[in-house]
Chain A
Amino acid sequence: GENVEQHPSTLSVQEGDSAVIKCTYSDSASNYFPWYKQELGKRPQLIIDIRSNVGEKKDQRIAVTLNKTAKHFSLHITETQPEDSAVYFCAASNSNSGYALNFGKGTSLLVTP
């Protein structure tokens, strides 16, 4: 089955700096890669996703890049703000498995003012 590795497990940055979280996956059939943000005690919220026919996608301060050959994808957050502090999860899935998500173990991001 699919195995998703996520690094780092914790990340502390100063407000205004950039944050990068990296994930690798093992199943070459995976073709959908979402990123979720989970604040304490709340449900995971989709922040951005990318499909395998695209190499990069951007939404305001958030961008995701995908390297299918190397089987890795990354989340980039620019101009971080304290409200970006949360746990971020990457996931990989494919249409054959009905988009059942295989998650990384999460990155706890702390943005200090």
Chain B
Amino acid sequence: EAGVTQSPTHLIKTRGQQATLRCSPISGHTSVYWYQQALGLGLQFLLWYDEGEERNRGNFPPRFSGRQFPNYSSELNVNALELEDSALYLCASSFSGNGYTFGSGTRLTVV
């Protein structure tokens, strides 16, 4: 069974640009979660999508947004990139909280 897959693995962007990160959940999982892991700040919850809708978001500004597609895959968009957005972005999927699994992440570097 394929796990949670994320792309790209690495992404380098310039300050002010937009970044798009993608996540494919485990087959059968309807919920997708996004987390930011910045150096020294641990893992912070960003967004939760379920059945195509944004259900909850963490304490992040509106320039962090995303969507979930009919096939339950998801993308995270970060607009107006700032240097402090440099981090590992992790996606996880579950079915009603069961089988919670993380992907390998996208390393975003803002220069």
Contacts and interface: CB of A to CB of B under 8 A. Distances in A.
Interface in A56-113: 89, 91, 93, 95, 97-106
Given A44-B90, A98-B55, A106 B42 contact: yes
A98 B31 contact: yes
B43 interface: yes
A100 B42 CA distance: 15
Interface residues of A, number: 23
Nearest to A87: B42
A89 B101 CA distance: 14
Interface string B81-97: 00000000010101011
A91 B37 CA distance: 14
A96 to B, nearest CB: 9
Contact of B50 (A98, A101, A105): A98
A47 interface: no
Contact of A99 (B59, B100, B102): B100
Interface residues of B, number: 25
B43 A101 contact: yes
A44 B92 CA distance: 10
Interface in A1-34: 1, 32, 34
B56 interface: yes
A36 to B, nearest CB: 8
Contacts of B96: 99
Nearest to A6: B42
Nearest to B55: A98
A43 B43 CA distance: 11
A103 B44 contact: yes
Interface string B28-71: 00010101000001111100101000011011000000000000
Contact of B56 (A46, A91, A98): A98
Interface of B: 31, 33, 35, 41-45, 48, 50, 55-56, 58-59, 90, 92, 94, 96-97, 100-105
5 contacts: A97-B56, A98-B48, A101-B43, A102-B45, A103-B45
